[in-house]
Amino acid sequence: MLDDFFMRAVLAGLGLALVAGPLGSFVVWRRMAYFGDSTAHAAILGVALALAFDISIYAGTLAVAVSMACLVSALVARGQAMDTMLGVLSHSALAVGLVAISFVPAARSDLSSYLFGDILAVGRADLVLIWTGAALVLAVLIARWQRLVTSSLNEELAMAAGIDPRVERLVLSLALAVVVALAIRVVGSLLISAMLIVPAAAARGWARTPERMAAGAALIAAASVVAGLWASLRMDTPAGPSIVTAAACFFVLSQGLRRG
């Protein structure tokens, strides 16, 4: 089964969907969409560094994404204006990454695969990394679920319960960095935030508890992967954008049914 490139793509997408749903729910609750963009855009710089020093793409993107996550968390803790700061970091990180990658001849011809993903080129080693990373992040989210939910919904209540919101914010930031590194081969740096936000936003209107929203977001993300890859195969469209387009369709459908 793993010799079939389409099945490998489906398994890679489902591995990402498994963790993107719950983590995306926290991104929506905490209004961290711009934070996700900043971390994802910085991944391009990680790609350039990985190719320049001949190391794993995952290692390069993870190192830069973690650095960006720690930087943003530190600036937020110091009271910096979130919207302006994240806007500057997001676009600056993307611009610096694109400039850096232009100095790496091997990456110029394959730039679109890093921006929009190349899920159909996923190999067995990629599958192992994606599923291992997704399982680790999901295990952390489950282990700290109540702390993360409490600090996301009400930081004052969290502090009263002995929970440090800064620690939980850092945990989410690092988890987001790991997912960004995993997702760059699946949907690319420009579409990672969409895979986190759109399924969670679609599930939000129907879920009555945080747990149901997280599970619903994971199911919608998984359905988006399958539908997007099927559409890509039938209509010869880019796989990453097709997956995100499918997620957007589920969001529109959820809004229409909700209003109805």
Please indicate, yes or no, whether the overall pTM of this predicted structure exceeds 0.85: yes
| Burial zone of 83 (CB within 10 Å; 0-12 exposed, 13-18 middle, 19+ buried) | exposed
List pLDDT tens digits, range 181-212.
888 888 888 788 889 999 999 998 788 899 99
Closest CA to 5 of 123, 128, 112: 123
Helix (H) or strand (E) holding 228: helix 210-235
64 with 42: CB under 8 angstroms?
yes
List pLDDT tens digits, range 99-119.
887 887 766 656 777 778 888
Confidence of residue 76 (pLDDT cuts 50, 70, 90): low
Whole-number Å distance between alpha carbons of 100 and 120: 26
pLDDT in the model for residue 13: 93
List pLDDT tens digits, range 39-67.
888 888 888 888 888 888 888 888 888 88
- Alpha carbon distances (Å) from 215 to 23, 24, 39, 220: 11, 11, 24, 9
pLDDT in the model for residue 61: 87
Measured in whole angstroms, how far is the alpha carbon of residue 74 from the centre of its chain?
A: 21
pLDDT in the model for residue 82: 63
Whole-number Å distance between alpha carbons of 40 and 93: 9
Mean pLDDT of 146-155: 89
Whole-number Å distance between alpha carbons of 128 and 114: 19
Q: What percent of the chain has pLDDT over 90?
A: 33
pLDDT in the model for residue 77: 66
Q: Is the pLDDT of residue 98 over 60?
A: yes
pLDDT in the model for residue 79: 60
Measured in whole angstroms, how far is the alpha carbon of residue 92 from the centre of its chain?
A: 19
User: Domain ranges in the chain?
Assistant: 5-259
CATH of domain 5-259: 1.10.3470.10
State the chain's mean pLDDT as an integer.
85
Q: What percent of the chain has pLDDT over 70?
A: 92
